[in-house]
Each structure stands twice: as structure tokens, then as C-alpha cells.
Amino acid sequence: MKRSIGLMLFALLFSVCARAAELPAMSEAEKERIRVIVKEAIREYAASLNDKQQVSSGAKDILREISQSNRNFMRTHGPAHFGHFAASQHPRATVVTCSDSRVHTHALDATPDGDLFMVRNIGNQIATAEGSVEYGVHHLHTPLLLIVGHVACGAIQAAAGDYSKESPSIQRELDTIQIPKGDAGLNSVKLNVNNQVRLAMSKFEQEVIGGHLSVVGAVYDFKNEMRQGQGKLNIVNVNGETNGEKIAKLDLMQGLDKPAAKPAVRHAPVRKAPAKAVEEAASDQEKPVEKPINHKEGH
């Protein structure tokens, strides 16, 4: 009943708004004033639902799980963990990845806090997050700009097809993915990464030429499509070089399989949490996780 009243209200308000836009005698300023009034009425109606309606789509359960995970994080990470980055950040790399939920920092860095300046968007693009990427390179002076594409990328699949029915905002973010129509697979994922590296190279030409920045393109393969192991971060482009044999010989690539210790100064030892907290955290982890939500695959 409330839902139908709400729908009627929306229909009425939109009708008023549309009629206002059609009235030739009305000035643009008056039309805009009516649009603002209508939007405010809709916003107030939506806000009023918080008190009257059941929270939809399992949001309450999800938020509870997130809060619980955060409590566990706080219990197991004491002040020492935050000490080395609380006052300022000095990340080691600017990383541009896709927003895809299957791509996360723990695949790249076991302790990413303070280490990785993350920029995420659909299709791991420079163009749709140019200011953020510039911030990492120009203000935080990271010596590495890592662009990470991934297998089974929904943005690549969309860009390779007809996305004319998507919203203008989504269309704008797909327009900047330059790949051939009809090829939604690994080749296009790599091509997009190479395109992003090329764009970054031209944007940050001075830093690259001056030896202050390396731009690396990679494909995170959680399906083992590249036959290098499931979960492997496959480097496919180094400063514009895409030939695998030549990449392998680059100085930047030497010793990648050896464990690299992070500078001690950047990572103060993690304070040992009180035994009780550890036990609580462990028991929380052992509890079966209730997930009543249908997580969609892909994005």
C-alpha cells in the first residue's frame, strides 16, 4: 500500500515536473525552481521510508557483517599498525585496477595499508580517474604506476558489445575503452591495459624519461586463462614494451620471484594483540558466516 502511494507520488511529481518544462511562458529560472522543489520532495519521501519500511535487499545483514569484520580488524590491529601512516601517507605504488569485486589488494600486497595508492573504476582506466592517478604520481611521487586489468572483465565485455542502452554515466566510462567490437576476451583485456599504459606514458612522459616513474601493465588472472597459475599477476607491459622475452630481460623484472622485504621503517612490527582478543577473533572466524544474500557474479 505504502509502495503504491509512493509510486503515485513519484508519478505525480514527475508529471508536474514534465508539464513545467513544457510551459513556454515559464522562464528557465522558474522551471529550475520547480525541478528543485520536486527533487527535494522526492528526497524527503525517500528518507521517510527509513522509518516505515523494512530495509531491502539484505542491506542490514551486509552492514552487520562489515561492522563485525571491522571490529575484528580493530581487535587484531593495535596502535602500532597505524603508527607509520597515521600522520601522512607515503605509498610505494599508484595502482589502477578495475572495481570488480574479485580483484583486491591482498592479491598484490599482504599489508597494503600505507603502501598502495588505489584508484579503482570500471575497466581500470586512466581517463575516467585522471586526477586521482595524477595525485599518486605528482603529489605522492610513487615510483611505480601499476595498471591492473583482469580476466572476465565485465567492463571489457560491455565495451566490446552494444552498450547504447546503458545510462549516460556508464556509457561515458565505457567510451574510453578502445577495443574492437565483438572481442570480449583476454586479447581485449590486454589491449585495454596496453592502451592505459600508453596513455599514462604520454601523461607522465617527463617522469618516465627522467627515471622517476615506471609504468607497468598487468593482468590479474583468477581463472588461470593465461596458464601461469590461478591468481597470478601477469606483467604484460613495462613502459610500453609488450614483448614477453624483452620484458623478461629488463632490469625491473630481475628477481621478481625472490621474496622482497619491505623497508623496516615503513612497517613497524604489528603489536601483538591480547590473547583474549586473538581468541575472540579466531572464534569469530570459525563461526559459519551467514550470507543470505545472492552475490551476483561479475559486475
Q: Is 98 in the site for Zn ion (CB under 5 A)?
A: yes
Return phi, psi of residue 276, to 5°: -60, -40
Q: Which is nearer to Zn ion, 98 or 160 (CB)?
A: 98
Q: Is 155 in the site for Zn ion (CB under 5 A)?
A: yes
Question: What's the number of CA atoms in the CB half-sphere (13 Å) around residue 136?
Answer: 30
Number of chain positions touching Zn ion (CB under 5 A) = 4
Q: Which CA distances in Å does 116 have to 85, 97, 144, 147?
A: 12, 11, 10, 12
Q: Which is nearer to Zn ion, 100 or 221 (CB)?
A: 100
Q: Which is nearer to Zn ion, 93 or 153 (CB)?
A: 153
Stretch 209-228 residues interacting with Zn ion (CB under 5 A): none
Q: Is 153 in the site for Zn ion (CB under 5 A)?
A: yes
Instruction: In angstroms, give the least distance from the CB of 35 to Zn ion.
Output: 35
Rounded to an integer, what distance in angstroms lies between the CA atom of residue 116 and that of residue 282? Answer: 27
Closest CA to 215 of 127, 118, 145, 149: 145
Rounded to an integer, what distance in angstroms lies between the CA atom of residue 41 and that of residue 14? Answer: 11
Interface mask toward Zn ion for 104-143; x: CB under 5 A: ----------------------------------------
Collapsing DSSP to helix, strand or coil, 161 comes out as coil
Instruction: In angstroms, give the least distance from the CB of 202 to Zn ion.
Output: 23
Q: Is 100 in the site for Zn ion (CB under 5 A)?
A: yes
Residues that bind Zn ion (CB under 5 A): 98, 100, 153, 155
